[in-house]
Amino acid sequence: MQDAATPLVDAPPAPRRRSAQTRTIIATSAGNALEMFDFTVFSYFAALIGKTFFPVDSGAGPLLLAMATFGVGFVMRPLGGVLIGNYADRAGRRAALTLTIQLMIAGTALIALTPSYARIGVVAPVLVVIGRLLQGLSAGGEIGASTTFLMESGPLSGRGFMVSWQMISQGVAALLGALSGALLSAVLSANALESWGWRVPFLLGLLLGPVGFYIRRHLDETHVPTHDAGGSAMREVFTHYLGRVVLGTLMIIGGTSTLYIFVFYMPAYAVRTLHLPMATSLLAGCASGLAMIVAALVSGLWIIDRLPRRKPMIAVTWLLSLACVYPAFRLLIAAPSVGLMVAIVTVVMAFATAGSSAFLLLIMEAFPPRVRATALATIYSFGVTIFGGFAQFNVTWLLHRTGDPMSPAWYVLTCGAVSMIALWRFRERPADSHHDGR
């Protein structure tokens, strides 16, 4: 419980003008979209990246080493969430947003421009791992800084619309990542794709980085720390709000497990377990991206800001998403087809995404502005790392141990059940309260 002497109110910023809000949306969405875009592209071209940067005769195999390199980024997310979230609360949102996009640009440049193992030897995988470490550090802090900035940039009655752009940008990135993979696979030969073609999406993403950096540097600050805010926001979060952080982390695992299983694991599952064609992964990626964009836009424009409370909408959308999981896998196992696969991914991701913006608001409104970015970044990065980043590994292990093709469904349903219980236990705070946790 917060000390009674602590100021109860952090003065909320004045609502932004429409032009400033547009600039805010573009600037904050760019960095988040770049992170999600790189994530999607890396997953599609993991086999080619493995062949480029790791010795072909390595015992573990280039693909396994590439996926291990991919996973390194997740390990850095909690550290990025704590450090950059704390920086956003102590130095301001704009400073943190500028830092995260710089880290993302540096990490992407290392992956896109590093010569192959055949040319520079062991230095190549070292540089790529460093690139993934920088990307993971950036991604961990990006969600806290960018989402709080979006929320604080709009009027109280428009928070849902502003925050929805966080999810819209992720959907756009997933869609563009899938489309770039499909386009390059269609127009380039296998040799060209392996030699240099896989680098093209990273280079395109790299070109967007400086634009986002320039815009972010000229944004209006939404959070000016008070003179007594010299302490650690991280310490305050874990000292006074630990219960909310734990519940928030448990709440997020349902949505993050759904995203990582249905968007990133499902295509591999369809090919390896259901024996569907490789084109399934690209079609499913496009479908999931479109579903996320439409669901987030509809909920942000017409639903969230018209509801007096966040929890009912979150509960309904989560339940609808979870209700689809068991029959979805049963249908796919009984009669696998590309069309059914695309339809299932679309429906599940639409329901899962529809309540995501409301969930982000529920979390942010539970913390005062002086620790808001730290709290959200910590909750998000730990939940995503443990239950999202390791989702594919966990499900693959379950499949190996049990031989049950329904294993992905049991994983998502278990995570979803835990999230529903945590949501029930989490107390919703008034949207207009800037309080100290009493």
The per-residue pLDDT for 226 is 64
Task: Name which of 176, 173, 344, 186 is nearest 279 in CA terms.
Answer: 186
The per-residue pLDDT for 432 is 63
- Calpha distance 273→292 (Å, rounded): 26
* Residue 80 contacts residue 65 (beta carbons within 8 Å): no
**DSSP assignment of 15-64:** PPPHHHHHHHHHHHHHHHHHHHHHHHHHHHTHHHHHHHHS-TT-TT-HHH
The per-residue pLDDT for 7 is 40
Residue 116, C-beta contacts closer than 8 angstroms, at least 6 positions apart: 52, 53, 124
Residue 122, C-beta contacts closer than 8 angstroms, at least 6 positions apart: none
Question: What is the dotted CATH code of the domain comprising 18-221+230-425?
Answer: 1.20.1250.20
- Calpha distance 84→79 (Å, rounded): 8
The per-residue pLDDT for 56 is 64
The per-residue pLDDT for 159 is 93
- Calpha distance 142→35 (Å, rounded): 9
Residue 375 structure tokens: 């709290």
- Calpha distance 243→347 (Å, rounded): 33
- Calpha distance 353→349 (Å, rounded): 6
The per-residue pLDDT for 436 is 40
Give residue 160's identity as a one-letter amino acid code. G
- Cα separations in angstroms, 170 against 6, 32, 43, 134, 153: 37, 7, 15, 19, 19
- Calpha distance 150→166 (Å, rounded): 8
Residue 72 structure tokens: 């390194």
Give residue 367's identity as a one-letter amino acid code. F
The per-residue pLDDT for 359 is 97
The C-alpha angle 139, 70, 185, rounded to 5 degrees, equals: 105
Question: What is the 3-class SS of 269-320, one letter each residue?
Answer: HHHHCCCCCCHHHHHHHHHHHHHHHHHHHHHHHHCHHHCCCCHHHHHHHHHH
Would you write out the chain's pLDDT as a tens digit for each of its 438 residues?
444 334 434 444 444 467 778 888 988 888 788 877 887 788 778 778 888 888 766 544 565 677 677 778 888 999 999 999 999 999 999 999 999 999 999 999 999 999 998 899 989 989 998 999 999 999 999 999 999 999 999 888 899 999 999 999 999 998 998 899 888 988 999 899 989 999 999 999 888 888 888 888 888 888 877 655 556 888 999 999 999 999 999 999 999 999 999 988 887 788 778 888 877 777 888 999 999 999 999 999 999 999 999 999 999 999 999 999 999 999 999 999 989 999 999 999 999 999 999 999 999 999 999 999 999 999 999 999 989 888 888 888 888 889 999 999 999 999 999 999 999 999 998 876 554 443
* Residue 156 contacts residue 431 (beta carbons within 8 Å): yes
Task: Name which of 253, 395, 249 is nearest 318 in CA terms.
Answer: 253
- Rounded to the nearest 10°, the torsion over CA 389, 166, 32, 413 is 10
Assign 233 to helix, strand or coil.
helix
The per-residue pLDDT for 185 is 84
